Amino acid sequence: MIRTRIIGTGSYLPSRVVPNEEIAQTLGMSPSRIQRLTGILSRRWAGDHEASSDMAITAGRRALEAAGCPGSAIDAIVLSTTSPDMAFPSTACSVQRGLGCKQVGAFDVSASCSGFLYGLSMAHAMIQSGQIRTCLVLASEVKSRSLDHQDEATALLFGDGAGAVVVRGEADPNPEWRGILGIRLYTDGSHHGLIRVPSGGSRNPLSSDTLRRGEHVLRMQGASLFRLAIRRVAQAVQDIFKEFGVSSGDVRQVVLHQANGRILAQVANRLGIEQDRVASVVERYGNTSSASLPIALDDAARSGKVSPGDLVLLGSFGGGLTWATGLVRWS
């Protein structure tokens, strides 16, 4: 039987640290209030010279090093981003060039903050079908350049960063399943307006009017989005637990999209999972959109929070509305 295993993780955070004190000055609120609302103490913002591909290349290189895998061994590259270097070609093409990989399939995925799990699901499916053996799955976001820094709903949340994993299909006769057990994806487009950049696409192209109205920055109905996301993710987790015959007590580490600290706490509470089993980097890095889950996963792996044989729960939600869950037996 072919198992899809995560054999290496990596991440990259820009060097510029943006503490709550800096955000507070712009928004006219106290740093402590930002922390109470979000659980965030600081976030990282990309330098003027950094684009999504630059961060993805570094995160990808670190994942390859952790896996002991040369770039020449990669059979496909899947990159999640909602902040690509440009409209086209895909940012994944720049990553392929930057890492010196073979001329393999490389493409972008746009599923908002759920994008990494969507990309991981594609890699898993390609491996299980026999199309490829080894895939580099990345997520890279430069959200700081699409923020209205006067908008309290978004300005205090978002940061920049990139995360990556190397996944490989390996024959494994061991009856104890190691690797990706399953990933489940969901969408409800009736809620697409809860978080979006209103203009800049084919429906509302760039114009002097859209610029004047401030329609090229991220807009979010935070309270509605988060309430809905908590319910949907909690239900999806219960569904995947039932499907694979596991319970919350079997899970060693929970790695969720790092939207904000309060959401992490509420989802864990609904699932009956103690906070010490929930990976959290949001206090240091803020909400890095689709990159937040692989960044948190890399942090958990490198800090020894997961060991071979541990059951790891993955979960995310984002614009669309999209959400996803996954179960991995660490190997």
**pLDDT at residue 88, as a whole number:** 93
**pLDDT at residue 223, as a whole number:** 82
**pLDDT at residue 175, as a whole number:** 61
What are the per-10-residue average pLDDT scores of the chain (331 residues)?
A: 94 98 93 95 97 98 97 97 96 97 96 97 97 98 95 94 97 78 96 88 91 88 86 95 96 96 91 93 98 98 95 95 97 85
Q: Which residues of 10-45 are buried (b: 16+ CB within 10 A; e: fewer)?
A: bbbbbeeebebeebbeebeeebeebbebbbbbbbbb
Domains and CATH numbers, the chain: 2-171 (3.40.47.10), 179-329 (3.40.47.10)
**pLDDT at residue 185, as a whole number:** 98
If phi > 0 it is left, if psi is from -120 to 50 it is alpha, else beta; for residue 272 that is left
Determine the length of the chain: 331
Q: Distance between CA atoms of 11 and 65, rounded to whole angstroms? A: 12
Cα 94 to Cα 85, 148, 223, 289: the distances in Å are: 9, 28, 36, 20
| β-bridge pairing 76-80 and 134-142 | parallel
Q: Which residues are catalytic?
A: 113, 257, 287
The CA dihedral of 280, 34, 111, 196, to the nearest 10 degrees, is 180
The CA dihedral of 115, 36, 21, 44, to the nearest 10 degrees, is -20
**pLDDT at residue 13, as a whole number:** 98
pTM of this structure: 0.97
**pLDDT at residue 233, as a whole number:** 94
- Residue 301 CA neighbour count, 13 Å, CB half: 25
Cα 45 to Cα 132, 136, 138, 255: the distances in Å are: 35, 24, 18, 22
The CA dihedral of 304, 305, 308, 311, to the nearest 10 degrees, is -170
Q: Distance between CA atoms of 236 and 146, rounded to whole angstroms? A: 30
